């Protein structure tokens, strides 16, 4: 269930978000639209020379999904912070499932805030991102 | 030991001016699957009280790439190059944004890149570069600060 930010309680979960499957086309479009042209994500020959079996998805493509989990629910106007640790590589073909959970209610300079714990997980259960967001609950 | 150019610690680049473009925001928003029309439809953005389409939450990374390309065009050294990043071994460790204001299409912003420092992990098999980026608007002030850790998974010959 998901209350509005003003009335949300610790433990409330945000609506789940699924993104994918991530294709090579997705990665080409993300490289183009983000300006991140690192060849490890789009050039198989380069990836193999670097000792990888295949290209893999930009971590920031998944972080964009963590951002969506929060802003779809609370609105980008409330977003004060978003952070992520990239804990595993996201392979081509993966579908990313993103979760959000209200982890803490706090007060920052007199403004009520919520800390949201975020995760991204791929089909085989591997957690690929672990993050958090800070939003205004005013 | 290591590959990063550690003498670049403490470096702050001169501000790079970047135009925030409506088409670019829309293309990015569509690619990452944004469904909120304030990121792609001017009328929807204005109806929600914004002057133009709104940059999504991770858009600072796009503005950084734009600033980095602009720096290269001017024949100056951009940060990845300056810190000696080797794309074969480079991984993205963490990314963190603090937001102080929204970014809209039509904004002219300044990007300031900083090299905060370097550290080692996992017994010298990983080395980490700590970077920071500030997005500043002439009248609205600092809109966002991004912090990023980039990691080299070191090949044996470069490990400590």
| Amino acid B86: pLDDT | 92
B160 — pLDDT class (breaks 50, 70, 90): low
Mutate to test the interface with B, among A26, A47, A63 (most CBs of B within 10 A): A63
Of the pLDDT bands very low, low, confident and very high (cuts 50, 70, 90), residue B157 is confident
**Token reading at A18:** 């699924």
Percent of chain B at pLDDT exceeding 90: 89
- Class for domain B6-20+56-158, per CATH? alpha beta
Measured between alpha carbons, how far is residue B154 from residues A89, B3, B65 in Å?
17, 8, 25
pTM for the whole structure? 0.94
By C-alpha distance, the chain B residue nearest A61 is: B32
Contact A130, A137 (CB under 8 A): no
Average pLDDT for residues B118-128, to the nearest whole number? 93
Name the residue among B30, B34, B93 with its Cβ closest to that of A68. Answer: B34
Distance from CA of A136 to the nearest CA of B (A): 11
pLDDT at A1 over 90: no
Question: B96 vs A83: CB contact, 8 Å cut-off?
Answer: yes
Domain boundaries, chain B: 6-20+56-158
Output the pLDDT for position A46.
94
CB-CB under 8 Å, B32 with A68: yes
A71/B89 touch (CB, cutoff 8 Å), yes or no = no
Task: Copy the structure tokens of residue B38.
Answer: 């304030």
Interface predicted TM-score (ipTM) over 0.90: yes
B92-115 tens-digit pLDDT: 999 999 999 999 999 999 999 999
pLDDT single digits (tens) A8-17: 999 999 999 9
Residue of A105 and B154 predicted with greater confidence: A105
pLDDT band at B2 (very low <50, low <70, confident <90, very high): confident
Chain A residue nearest residue B30, CA to CA: A33
Band (pLDDT 50/70/90 cuts) for residue A2 is: low
Q: Where are the domains positioned within chain A?
A: 17-136
Nearest to A67 among B58, B69, B96 (CB): B58
Q: Sort out which chain B residues have CB atoms less than 8 A from A120's CB and list them.
A: none
**Rg (Cα) of chain A, in Å, rounded?**
17
Minimum Cα–Cα distance from A67: chain B residue? B57
pLDDT tens sequence across B34-63: 999 999 999 999 999 999 999 999 999 999
Residues of chain A above pLDDT 70, percent:
99
B27 at interface of A, judged by CB pairs closer than 8 A: yes
Residue B30, SS3 per DSSP: helix
What is the nearest CA distance from A65 to chain B, expressed in angstroms? 7
pLDDT of residue B1 exceeding 90, the answer is no
Q: Which CATH architecture has domain A17-136?
A: Roll (3.10)
Considering only the beta carbons, identify the residue of B36, B88, B93 that sits closest to A50.
B88
Subunit contact B92:A59, Cβ cutoff 8 A: yes
Q: Is the pLDDT of residue B14 over 90?
A: yes
Taking the Cβ of residue B121 and every Cβ of chain A, the question of whether any pair is shorter than 8 Å is answered with no
Q: For residue B157, give the H/E element and its range.
A: none
Cβ contact A64–B95 (<8 Å) = no
Q: Is A51 exposed, middle or buried (0-12, 13-18, 19+ CB in 10 A)?
A: exposed
| B124: confidence class by pLDDT, cuts 50, 70, 90 | confident
Is residue B156 pLDDT above 80, yes or no? no
Segment B36-44 long-range contacts (CB within 8 Å, at least 24 positions apart): B36/A71, B36/A72, B36/A76, B38/A76, B42/B105
More confident site: A50 or A21: A21
- Do residue A82 and residue B99 have CB atoms under 8 angstroms apart? yes
As a whole number, mean pLDDT of residues A63-81 equals: 98
Asked whether the beta carbons of residue B87 and residue A38 sit closer than 8 angstroms, the reply is yes
Q: Does B157 touch chain A (CB under 8 A)?
A: no
């Amino acid at each position: 269930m998901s209350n509005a930010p003003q009335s949300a309680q610790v433990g409330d979960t945000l609506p789940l978000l699924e993104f994918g499957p991530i294709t090579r086309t997705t990665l080409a479009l993300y490289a183009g639209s983000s300006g991140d042209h690192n060849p490890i994500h789009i050039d198989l020959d380069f990836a193999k020379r670097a000792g990888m079996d295949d290209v893999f998805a930009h971590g920031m493509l998944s972080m964009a999904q963590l951002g969506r989990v929060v802003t779809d629910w609370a609105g980008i106007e409330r977003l004060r912070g978003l952070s992520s640790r990239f804990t595993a590589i996201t392979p081509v073909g993966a579908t990313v499932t993103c979760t959000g959970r209200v982890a803490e209610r706090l007060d920052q300079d007199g403004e009520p805030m919520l800390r949201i714990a975020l995760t991204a997980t791929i089909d085989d259960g591997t957690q690929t991102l672990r993050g958090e967001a800070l939003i205004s609950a005013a | 030991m290591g590959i990063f150019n550690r003498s670049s610690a403490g470096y702050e680049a001169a501000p790079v001016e970047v135009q925030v473009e409506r088409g670019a925001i829309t293309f990015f928003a569509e690619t990452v699957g944004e469904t909120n029309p304030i990121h792609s439809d001017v009328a929807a953005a204005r109806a929600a009280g914004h002057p133009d389409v709104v940059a999504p939450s991770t858009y600072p990374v796009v503005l950084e790439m734009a600033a980095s390309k602009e720096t290269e065009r001017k024949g100056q050294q951009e940060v990845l190059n300056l810190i000696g990043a080797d794309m074969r071994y480079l991984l993205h460790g963490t990314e963190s944004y603090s937001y102080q204001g929204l970014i809209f299409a039509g904004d002219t912003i300044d990007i300031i890149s900083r090299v905060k420092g370097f550290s080692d992990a996992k017994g010298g098999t990983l080395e980490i570069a700590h970077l920071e980026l500030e997005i500043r608007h002439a009248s609205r002030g600092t809109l966002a600060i991004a912090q990023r850790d980039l990691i080299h998974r070191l090949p044996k010959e470069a490990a400590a």
